[in-house]
Amino acid sequence: MSQPQTVISWIRRYIRRRRLPVALFLAIAASLILTGVSVSIYSLGGFSRFDLSRPDYEKERNQLSTAPPQKTYDVTSPIDQRAADEFLSEFDGRLNDLHAYGNFRDGGLSDEELQLVDAVPGSLQ
């Protein structure tokens, strides 16, 4: 018998004698590998940057809009004035919400906002 075959038969005998410990070991190894893969995807894929459940982001979590319940739309009924009005009413509500959110136009990176300006002589700063 060649050496690889000896090793394989030894492994088989070992597994047959210790089935439960081997099964537990394989289960733990598989879960560790899968956890490693998902954590890698989380950090390397950039998803972590959007995760507001991280510690130290409580204030930002409170500023998130509350997610409304999942809505299903009627896609088969006839379209009449009432349907159009309902659409426009809901749409206008969403547009108002959008306007309330930041639009990246507030000069957030200006020198004044970052306080990269010299103090005016005589002013308190």
Partner 1 sequence: MYTKKVPILLAALVFWLSPGLALAQSGSERLAIIQSKCQVAHDNLDLLRRRDLVARTNRGREYENIVKQLEAFTQRVRHNRLDAGRLGTTTQQFKIAVDQFRDAYLRYDDSLSELLQTDCRTKPDVFALKLEESRVLRAETAVSATRAEELALNYRELVATLAGPNINGAAQ
The tokens describing 53, both together, are 């459940």
**Of residues 19-58, those binding partner 1 (CB under 8 A):** 46, 49-50, 52, 57
Please list the helix, strand and coil fractions of the chain in percent, rounded to the nearest 5, in that order: 60, 0, 40
Whole-number minimum distance, CB 19 to partner 1, in Å?
49
Cα–Cα distance for residue pair 61/52, rounded to 1 Å:
6
**Of residues 57-116, those binding partner 1 (CB under 8 A):** 57, 59-60, 63-65, 67-68, 71, 73-81, 83-85, 87-88, 90-92, 94-95, 97-98, 101-105, 108-109, 113-116
The nearer residue to partner 1, 5 or 103, going by C-beta atoms, is 103
- Tell the residue number behind the tokens 């300006």, with chain if given: 117
Cα–Cα distance for residue pair 46/50, rounded to 1 Å:
8
- Name which position in 1, 45, 69, 118 contacts partner 1 (CB under 8 A): 118
Give residues with Cβ within 8 angstroms of 15, minimum separation 6.
22
- Tell the residue number behind the tokens 């509350």, with chain if given: 66
The tokens describing 42, both together, are 């989380």
The nearer residue to partner 1, 55 or 78, going by C-beta atoms, is 78
Residues in contact with partner 1 by CB under 8 A are 46, 49-50, 52, 57, 59-60, 63-65, 67-68, 71, 73-81, 83-85, 87-88, 90-92, 94-95, 97-98, 101-105, 108-109, 113-118
